[in-house]
Structures are given as C-alpha cells and as structure tokens.
A = this chain, B = another copy of it.
Amino acid sequence: MPELRVLPVGGLPEIGNGDDLGALIAERAELEDGDVIVVAQKVVSKAEGRVVRLADVEPSARARELAGSDDPRRLEVILGEAKRIVRSRPPLVVVETRHGFVCASAGVDASNAPEPGTVVLLPVDPDDSAARIRDRLRELTGRSVGVIVSDTFGRAWRQGIANVAIGAAGVEVLRDFRGHYDANGYELHTTVIAIADEIAAAAELVMGKLEGVPAAVVRGLDVVGEGTARDIVMPRGQDLFQ
C-alpha cells in the first residue's frame, strides 16, 4: 500500500521582495520526482513584493463604511483586490477576488507581514507563482515536482479555517471519478475530489501558523498533472451559494 508522507521545510529566513524561494527550498529539501511542494501564500507574496504600507493608503467612503471600528485603510486595500463583495458585516468582509476566489478580506492579511503597519496581498497570479517555483526547482535539482501555493480560507457553515490551493503547477487539482463504478456497479455520478485542496490541508498540519515552516513536501501520491487552481473556482452559474 502506498504511504503518504508530509515533510516540513523549515529554517527559511524572513522572506523579502525578490527572494528566490525555489533556491531557498531546494537547499533545505531532498526532492524526489513526483513530490508536491506546498508553499504558503504569505512567503510567495512577500517574495513577489505584494506588500502594502497602510500609511500610503487613502481610504474611500465605501472603505470607511465597511470598516466599522476597524482600520478603513485595510478595507481600502481589500476593495482594490475585490471583484465584488459577497457578504459584509463590519469589519468582516467576504469578497470574490480578482482570481475568482471567495474568501475573507480578499486574502489581505497583517499576520506575518514584513513589519507593523503593512499588509500582505495574494499573488497577482498564484498559478503563475507556482509554475515559476516549479521551474526553478527543476532547474536547481533536476527533479520534476508539482507545486501548490496554499492559503487558509474560512468556510461557510463550518468553524475554523483550513488550507486550500490558490495556485498550482504540474499537479492534478480535481480528480474526476465520474463514469467510474463502485463494487456494486453503481456509477459515481457526482464525485470530483478536490485533491489539490486536500494536499494543501495535509501540508498545513506540519506547517502550522507560528513555527516558521512556510513549505512542506508531500510524497507518495501519484498526482502529476496539469491542473490550475483556477479550475477549482466554481462557475457562477453552477453555484447555489452566490
């Protein structure tokens, strides 16, 4: 039986704009072909310079309204990342990001930011971020791996946040069992497994929030593929929860 292993990649320095994440990971992990490397969005965004200083932000009236008693400049940054507001209850706001993800605060976050008074935004194109890290890892190690950029999202109806894939390269993202049959010959009609999200979730268990482990190697899966995290975004016409 295949065994799944999830290996933390720790000991990375504080990441700044322009840092070579692929090299920093390659130095600290013995990669094998077929591994999936999960990298936390926060370090990807920092390496891409996706950091905003709140002192430079002028909040609009709309941002002030949504902020309630919170900092309206933070809401202004969120509005800049949002295609539309899905729900709000000041200062909470759930938006659809320009990528199509529905999440709290458009993924804009002050925790683990480079310094107080700054916030970190999602990468402009997390699938592209994953592809560039993947290419760099191949260049440096000769290994063909998949890469997932992950972030923790809240969920409707369930407490707590869980890690999901917001970017992917070289990896299967949705595994489609439709047209397969169970042991009784019953066709599995509606079974598409969001395996990239499950891989991201598995990685979070060793990455944690505080211990400075911004990446993990997931080994033992047979998930080489060509999916992107945008494949996970549900088309609006199909979604019962718009």
Which chain A residues have a beta carbon within 8 Å of chain B's beta carbons?
Answer: 1-8, 10, 14, 87, 89, 92, 94, 101-102, 104, 110-116, 152, 155-164, 174, 177, 180, 182-186, 188, 190-195, 197-199, 201-202, 204-206, 209-210, 212-213, 221, 231-234, 239-241
Contact = CB atoms under 8 A, between A and B. Distances in A.
A199 to B, nearest CB: 7
A234 B177 contact: no
A3 B5 contact: yes
A6 B7 contact: no
Nearest to A94: B240
13 contacts: A1-B7, A3-B6, A102-B156, A110-B186, A155-B156, A156-B241, A158-B164, A159-B231, A160-B174, A160-B192, A160-B232, A188-B210, A193-B209
A197 B8 contact: no
B113 A186 contact: yes
A232 to B, nearest CB: 5
Contacts of A159: 174, 192, 194, 231-234
Nearest to A211: B1
Nearest to A10: B1
B115 A184 contact: yes
Given A3-B206, A205-B221, 15 more contacts: A2-B8, A5-B5, A92-B240, A104-B190, A113-B186, A152-B191, A159-B192, A159-B194, A160-B192, A160-B194, A161-B191, A162-B194, A193-B209, A198-B201, A198-B202
Nearest to A112: B182
A239 to B, nearest CB: 6
Contacts of A152: 191, 193
A29 B177 CA distance: 28
Contact of A102 (B157, B202, B213): B157
Nearest to A89: B240
Contact of A182 (B111, B157, B206): B111
A138 to B, nearest CB: 23
A192 to B, nearest CB: 5
B14 A7 contact: no
Contacts of A8: 1-3
